[in-house]
Amino acid sequence: MHRVNLRMDVPLLVFAPGAEFGSAKRWPTAHFAELASAIWRAHPQTQIVLLGSGKDKAMCEEIVAVAPEVRNLAGITTLGEAIALIGHAAAVVSNDSGLLHIASALNRPIVAIYGPTDPAHAPPFSDVAKSLSLRLDCSPCRQRECPLGHHHCMKNITADMVWTPLREM
């Protein structure tokens, strides 16, 4: 994709760290950064991009601050460009969000991260997909913010828990 200066001849990995519904559905930015760093150490030729709306830009900058090998395209790409990037991606890592369901519709390999929502209710339907959920006693609560204030359903999903199935993809 020339406008955002990405190479189409090397692997592209898409992260969708936003979630319009609320912060409870967002995997911590530190975990996304840790995952990106692990991937980049293992596969330094991989391009990792962050997609989302303009509302996600600052959150995505938190990831880039820790993992500078990642490109923040949140709020930069149009929806059509984001769809094209997802369609070209070797794999997608996403919270339960609209971009997750776009990746599913495009049949991309996906690791989907669920906390306050039920992965059985709206799972990815890609041929290659892994839904991660801790299925804690307090989840799925379906709340925009963690009603218990601890956000364990997302915080306790580690970068390694995501990297393991992603590596297999």
Please name every residue paired with 111 in a beta bridge, in sequence order, or none if there are none: 93, 130
Q: How do residues 125-164 score in pLDDT, each as one tens digit?
A: 999 999 999 998 888 877 778 777 888 999 999 999 999 9
Predicted local confidence at residue 1, as pLDDT: 59
- CA gap 82, 133 in Å, rounded: 26
Q: Encoding tokens for residue 152?
A: 């364990």
State the sign of the Cα–Cα–Cα–Cα dihedral 95, 145, 36, 3. Answer: positive
Predicted local confidence at residue 20, as pLDDT: 72
Please name every residue paired with 145 in a beta bridge, in sequence order, or none if there are none: none
Model confidence at 90, in pLDDT bands (50, 70, 90)? very high
- CA gap 7, 1 in Å, rounded: 7
| For residue 3, pLDDT beyond 80 | no
Model confidence at 117, in pLDDT bands (50, 70, 90)? confident
Predicted local confidence at residue 148, as pLDDT: 77
Task: Supply the angle between the helices 29-42 and 159-168 in degrees, to the nearest 10.
Answer: 40
Q: 98-115: string of b/e by CB count within 10 Å (b at 16+)?
A: bbbbbbbebebbbbbbbb
What 3-state DSSP class applies to 86? helix
State the sign of the Cα–Cα–Cα–Cα dihedral 101, 60, 14, 155. Answer: negative
Helix/strand number for the chain, H first, E second:
6, 6
Predicted local confidence at residue 102, as pLDDT: 96
- CA gap 16, 108 in Å, rounded: 13
Model confidence at 4, in pLDDT bands (50, 70, 90)? confident
Predicted local confidence at residue 2, as pLDDT: 63
| For residue 100, pLDDT beyond 70 | yes
Q: How do residues 17-61 score in pLDDT, each as one tens digit?
A: 987 766 778 899 999 999 999 999 999 999 999 999 999 999 999
